[in-house]
Structure formats: C-alpha cells, structure tokens
Structure 1
C-alpha cells in the first residue's frame, strides 16, 4: 500500500496544484461579488472582475490628464526605488556589522546587546520621530525600511557566522590567514546564502514599512495611491494595487532564490 506521504507530483502536477488554490479564490470572489452586485448594483465593497480590469487599464495604459504620466507605473517606479534603496543599504550594513559581530569577540560584546535592543523596537512606533528628524521627503521613508530591516539581518548573519565550525577558523589561521582574510575568504562566502535567505524573509516587513510611510506622507507611490482612494471606497483600484504589491514581493523572492542557486549552488546541494 502506497502511503500519501510518499506520493510526489510530477512537474505538470506541481503547476496544477499550485494554481488550484488561486483558481478557487478567484471563483469564490466572483461568486461573492455577483451576489452583492445583484442586491445592489452600486456596491463598491466587492467590485466585479471586469470593473477592476477597466480601472487597471485606465491607470496603467492611459496618461493622467494632470501629470501626463501613467499613474500605475509611476507609483510602481517610485515605490520600488524607495524599497531598493532601503534594502540595499540594510544589506550593506548587515554585511559589515554581521561579519564583525559574529567573528570578533570584542565587536560581539560591544554591539550584540545594542542590536538585540534595536531589533525589538517597533519601527512603526518611531515613524513620527523619523518624520521630525529627517523630514517628510524620501530620506525618512528609506530610513524606516533600514531601521526595520537592518537589525534583524545583522543579528541573523552574526548568528550564522558565530556557528561556523571552529576547525575551519583554526585551519585558516594555521595556514597564516589574518583576521581580514578569515573574514573575507572563510566567513563571507558561507554567510552570503544565509544573508539572501534572511533578505527573503524581510521582504514582507520591508513592503509593510514602505506602504505605511507612503500612506502617511507622500505624493506618489503604491501606498500613497491606496490610501488616497480609500476615502472614495475605490476597491476596484485598491484590490489590483494590493495584488500588484503581492506579485512584486513574490517576484523579488523568486529572483533572490535564483540568485542564491546560481551564485552558491553548493549551499543548496547540502540542503538537498
């Protein structure tokens, strides 16, 4: 008797099983929307799929009369720029401090408690402080992402480096490697796959911080647009924007996975 836990779907079956939940969600939404619209044709809570497609077509393909831009793509460009800057700076800070804290006992004793405390501070609670300190322009939005993401990346990377086999570090020093050489040639290559994994896990919080900052103070961006039209109950625009943000996060996650597999195939072979 073949047990269910031993049944592995083929490639086509995987695609079918992956698409099945999305198809069910779309079907349930269409049924719920049709039922509400049958009772009230002016209902805005659950707009029909056709109305969302029309709204998306208008914002993505037609130029705005006031700005001359395609609003959908302009908002996407602005938000991705902010997100990219915040994540890039966070990763750079994590690389420097994470390696130093994980490898150097003096740095660990000095900065580990600080990083533990900072990582527990709710970033949204200090958003008003960021607006006061850095103004309402781009810097405050990028800083919110950095403060929310960098400490967690630092702690995770430092933990990975501190768990490296001591035999590797001793052998490298026996062969004459300096502290910098051990850090760059032994610790860094093994820490990079973990850094990519941690970045993947922080994509969701990073988008959350971005949307929150844009909702409070911005004149463009995905979060700004969502909170701008909420007063009109424009669910035909809000739902496509939410779906688009989710798709962007999923694409970014997939790209990070592919990047890790191409640059560090040995790490994935070990897991397999």
Structure 2
C-alpha cells in the first residue's frame, strides 16, 4: 500500500479564540507615561476601550478609570479591575460631566470616530491641563531573516484587503486633524517572543486575512505561511516580535478656547 502523504498544515486555522489569545498587549510603561503627563490622577477615560487592554493598565495610576465602548459585547467581556468602570457609549457622546477628566485615551480606535464630534466631547469633559492621547501601534517588526518576507506580504500581498482606515493606523494617525497643543513622547514599543504558531495565529486576527479568505485567496496566505515556516526553522523556537507605539498627544484647551499652536513630535 502506498504511504499517504498528509496535506500541508493550514497555519491560519487557529479557531475562534485567536483574537483573545494573540492580540499584543500594551506595556505598563505606556500607562505610567500617560499618567505622568496628566495634570492630576483623579479620572482617566479610555474611549473605544474594547476589552479593556489599556483601561486596566491605567487603573493603578488613577483614582478612577472609565472604559467606554459602543459594543455591548466588548463591554460584557472587558477585563475587570479595582477602580475601573465600564459603560457602553460611543466616542461622540461621552457620558461624563463637564470638566471631569484629567486624561482621555483612545487606543487603536480613533480611526473609527467622527473626530470633530469626539474632539468637541473631549474639550467638554477635560479638566484644565488635561491630556488627550490617540494611541496606535505600527507595523510589526521581525528579525531580518523574516522581516523582508513579512513586509512584502503586509504591503503588497495582503495590503489590498485592509479597510481604508488601516492606512491611518499605519501612519500613526499622522495625517488626521489634531487641533491640540502637541508634545513629544518617549520611544515605546510592544515586545513579545512567539513561536511560529503564535505568530501566524496573530495574523488570523487581521480583518485583511479574513477578507482574503472570503474571496478565495487562501493560496496567498498559505504561500506566506510556508515561506515563514521554512525561514523560521524549529516551529517551537521563540523569536522576537515588536510593534512601535505611535501617539498623537497634546494638551486640551477648554471648550470655546482657541487651540494653541501645534508642535509635532
């Protein structure tokens, strides 16, 4: 009897729990920095908080942290913690009192907002000297052996399947209107060490990968996965993966005040 050759592994079949397992987490240094530039530590508001990744990092630094998201499902599954409150609310209608917040953050979310309406709400709830930070993380980086292949995949192969808003994230929101007095921030990054299955599992959380599969471009994904597997070597070997953290960060003028001149980082 001839030996049956098993089909090649589909690295992109990771199951429905992939998002929670593989999304990168912000480092504690980010929350510590944001707290250090806030005028006081009474209240931080994390808008578009999702499952509360940044919200829970802010909690040790503030008396209260409120996480807001328009998705009831996200709020129902948000990370609980002392001094944290979650509410279901859109960025354009913040359920907070005037002049109440010392820090307002939006992590990997601002590209979905109606920004003029959101900025109006930020000015309304801001305390004197309050800080607004639009946080995002850029395109991941790998070791040189793997990074060149990944960059081709990201920009040229899977790139057309990203929604248009993704370009705003990739640029660190550099092109959006930000009518606040900006200041410089320290270099920060997310760092993990992943094996091959974890790295490719992270890619399954991308909307672009789901879109490519829906239109029958499984071949594109499998070709990339096979190239990665060949370059990775032992699939259980843990290799460094990093993402640069980008921000548009500035002081918020009170509602009705004229914005100060901007100084880009």
- TMscore range, shorter length: under 0.3
TM-score (norm 2): 0.24
Look at both structures and tell me which one has the larger radius of gyration over its CA atoms: 1
Q: Which has the higher strand share?
A: 2
Q: TM-score, normalised by structure 1?
A: 0.23
Which structure has the highest helix share of the two? 1
